[in-house]
């Protein structure tokens, strides 16, 4: 069976690796991001037997999200897999964070994932199956201090994933949360952390394998909710 997968928030690194892995497994992959040129190039370059669709989408804009899912259904049909992967950083503390910065972190990590999930789960309930995966971070499970907007948004997304898992698990929808507790290797990652040992970077291709394993777990009696991925000492400045 050909699955239709939406990766909401695609960029170089893990987002690209997810798209390539899903395509390798035969998925029709819709790529949501604001950077139109990047996702169009990636959609054209996805490995066979998969197929790509670039949908320029600002995930802070509710109307654009609805329009993006409508386009996916027109081209590929109903959605079987959703990865809520978009993230907006907010690296300041309480007294140095303005309302606009705080709300933007929430708009992407929280509201955007909420609207995407509504769209995808509505399709999945009709078919009685599907997978929704949230990309979390260290800040999803423990505060780092001085990153209040990001932490609040990531905690909210994890709670939302947990609530969805309890509500829709009995209907055949697998909802999972992946805690990325470390620095993912990718463009500029090593420049940002020049003193970090090579072996402590997380391999995005291996992470994509973990996500795909979640998609393949169809037995409702053994579906995990949360996977915590880490490797070596962590540097909170980059998590």
What is the CA 137 to chain-centroid distance, rounded? Answer: 11
Cα separations (Å) of 18 from 25, 42, 101, 183, 215? 11, 12, 28, 16, 12
Whole-model pTM: value is 0.93
Return the structure tokens found at 2. 């050909």
Count of domains for the chain: 1
Ordered per-residue pLDDT tens for the chain, 239 residues: 899 999 999 999 999 999 999 999 999 999 999 999 999 999 999 999 999 999 999 999 999 999 999 999 999 999 999 999 998 878 899 999 999 999 999 999 999 999 999 999 999 999 999 999 999 999 999 988 899 999 999 999 999 999 999 999 999 999 999 999 988 887 676 666 666 666 678 999 999 999 999 999 877 777 899 999 997 554 443 33
- DSSP for 131-174, written as a single string: EEEEEEEGGGTS--SS-HHHHHHHHHHHHHHHHHHHHHGGGTEE
| Whole-number Å distance between alpha carbons of 71 and 61 | 16
CATH number at 161 reads 3.40.50.720
The two three-digit tokens of residue 50, written as one number = 């998969």
Closest CA relative to residue 234, chosen from 181, 174, 192: 181
Q: Are 139 and 182 in contact (CB under 8 A)?
A: no
Range of the domain at 87: 4-238
d(CA 7, CA 215): 13
> Is 13 exposed, middle or buried (CB count within 10 Å of its CB: 0-12, 13-18, 19+)?
middle
């Amino acid at each position: 069976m050909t699955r239709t997968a939406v990766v909401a928030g695609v960029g170089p690194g893990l987002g690209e690796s997810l798209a390539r892995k899903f395509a390798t497994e035969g998925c029709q992959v819709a790529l949501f991001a604001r950077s139109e040129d990047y996702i169009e190039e990636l959609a054209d370059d996805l490995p066979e037997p998969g197929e790509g669709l670039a949908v320029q989408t600002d995930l802070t804009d509710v109307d654009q999200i609805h329009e993006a899912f409508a386009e996916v259904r027109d081209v590929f049909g109903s959605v079987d897999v959703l990865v809520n992967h978009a993230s907006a950083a907010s690296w300041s503390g309480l007294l140095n964070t303005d309302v606009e910065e705080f709300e933007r972190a929430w708009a992407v990590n929280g509201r955007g994932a909420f609207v995407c999930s509504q769209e995808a789960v509505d399709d999945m309930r009709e078919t009685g199956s599907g997978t929704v995966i949230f990309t979390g971070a260290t800040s999803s499970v423990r505060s780092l201090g001085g990153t209040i907007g990001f932490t609040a948004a990531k905690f909210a997304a994890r709670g939302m994933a947990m609530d969805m898992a309890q509500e829709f698990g009995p209907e055949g929808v697998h909802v999972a949360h992946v805690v990325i507790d470390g620095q993912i290797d990718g463009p500029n990652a090593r420049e940002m952390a020049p003193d970090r040992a090579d072996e402590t970077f997380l391999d995005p291709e291996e992470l994509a394998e973990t996500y795909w394993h979640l998609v393949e777990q169809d037995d409702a009696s053994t579906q995990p909710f949360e996977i915590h991925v880490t490797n070596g000492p962590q540097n909170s400045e980059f998590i």
